[in-house]
Amino acid sequence: MMNRLLKKLLHKTKPKGFKKNDEQTVEEINEVIELATGEESSEEEKALIKSLVRFRETTVKQIMKSRMDILALDYDSDYNEVLEYVSKWQFSRIPVFRDNIDRIEGILLIKNLFPYRNEKAEFAWHKLIQPVLFVPETKKIDELLADLQQKHMHLAIVVDEYGSTAGLVTLEDIIEEIVGEIHDEFDEVDQIFSKLEDNVFLFEAKTLLNDFCKVLKIDPAIFEEVKGESESLGGLILEINNDMPKKGDVISFQQFTFKIEAVDAKRLQRVKVEIKREAEIQDAKS
């Protein structure tokens, strides 16, 4: 199915006035997709093709797990501590740092520990550490996907302009940008939101804006002019409010109302979001 749709997309004539450079608008891209897929294609097929188009413009920063949420092993840990850590978190790959999270030494593949599971605390587990791929925040995820495939890697460390660790991105994160959430029987689903009632949600402030928009089924472009450099819901609210809000504060932007439900000294934690849909806005005006 995918190959057939992509061939149709690539070979259809562009609509009149379509730009020849990479600055096509969303409307123009959607027009090409509608022409390319035609009436015989389902809405699911069209949505999948649109996600492929957006995929080319998405940066690593937009989908990465932030440095605050990275779980990593200390290089100075003894082998018993390593096994305890692995047992607790049950990840298949864990970054290893020396001194602090800005000095990532490499990646430990848990499967490589199996032959040595009965070794003592003094076991030199460091010899099992493998190289890691470092990528800038601005790298496009389609390019990163090609790099990971070429190097047979499943994970990359994202660094900022100063070389500090900004986050982490996995092959699974990239694939989910096309096909949606992926879970297997070993996943503990990280619930970033809960639905309280129609059009009212409780979100973790660390939720990525991309994920926030997916949940609410809205176009991310609505926040483009106000989000600045922020990539999370909490960062967006700080940009809109121009200050750290307090618990109970209510912040409005267009059809969105953000009520701060939890905050600590350093950052927002939980936000209640109410969104007025188009029908409600029209009713209010009439």
Domain CATH number, residue 97: 3.90.1280.20
Where is the domain boundary, 12, 33, 53? 53
Residue 186 lies in a domain: no
Chain centroid to CA 77: 30
Whether residue 6 is found in the same domain as residue 28? yes
Nearest to 159 by CA among 205, 211, 101: 101
Do 71 and 89 touch, CB atoms closer than 8 A? yes
Residue 207 lies in a domain: yes
Do 167 and 65 touch, CB atoms closer than 8 A? yes
Q: How far is CA 25 from CA 14, 44, 121, 220, in A?
A: 13, 22, 58, 13
Residue 8 lies in a domain: yes
Domain limits for position 123: 65-132
Q: What is the pLDDT of residue 264?
A: 82
Whether residue 163 is found in the same domain as residue 200? no
pLDDT in tens, 116-131: 989 999 999 999 999 9
Higher-scoring residue by pLDDT: 243, 121:
121
What is the maximal distance between C-alpha atoms in the chain?
75
Structure tokens at 266: 């350093």
Determine the Cα–Cα distance for residues 253 and 240; give it in Å rounded to an integer. Answer: 8
Q: What is the pLDDT of residue 17?
A: 39
For residue 164, what pLDDT band results from cuts at 50, 70 and 90?
very high
Whether residue 128 is found in the same domain as residue 145? no
Q: What is the pLDDT of residue 220?
A: 83
Q: What is the pLDDT of residue 129?
A: 96
Determine the Cα–Cα distance for residues 164 and 198; give it in Å rounded to an integer. Answer: 41
Determine the Cα–Cα distance for residues 196 and 203; give it in Å rounded to an integer. Answer: 10
Residue percentage of the chain with pLDDT more than 70: 73
Residue 55: count of CB within 10 angstroms of its CB: 16
Owner of token pair 């001194």: 99
Whether residue 258 is found in the same domain as residue 202? yes
Where is the domain boundary, 28, 53, 78? 53
Residue 10 lies in a domain: yes
Whether residue 107 is found in the same domain as residue 146? no
Higher-scoring residue by pLDDT: 191, 275:
275
Determine the Cα–Cα distance for residues 232 and 267; give it in Å rounded to an integer. Answer: 12
Whether residue 144 is found in the same domain as residue 207? no
Q: How far is CA 229 from CA 166, 192, 220, 225, 284, in A?
A: 13, 21, 14, 10, 33
Whether residue 127 is found in the same domain as residue 141? no
What mean pLDDT comes out for the span 77-85?
94
Whether residue 116 is found in the same domain as residue 165? no
User: Is the pLDDT confidence value at 39 over 80?
Assistant: no
Residue 29 lies in a domain: yes
Q: What is the pLDDT of residue 186?
A: 41
Q: What is the mean pLDDT of the chain?
A: 79
Q: What is the pLDDT of residue 120?
A: 93
What's the pTM value of the predicted model, to 2 decimals?
0.59
Q: Into how many domains does the chain fold?
A: 4
Q: What is the pLDDT of residue 56?
A: 72
Q: What is the pLDDT of residue 117?
A: 87
User: Is the pLDDT confidence value at 58 over 60?
Assistant: yes
Residue 24 lies in a domain: yes
Residue 185 lies in a domain: no
Whether residue 170 is found in the same domain as residue 218? no
Whether residue 277 is found in the same domain as residue 203? yes
Residue 58 lies in a domain: no
Higher-scoring residue by pLDDT: 188, 109:
109
Residue percentage of the chain with pLDDT more than 90: 41
Whether residue 126 is found in the same domain as residue 142? no
Q: What is the pLDDT of residue 88?
A: 85
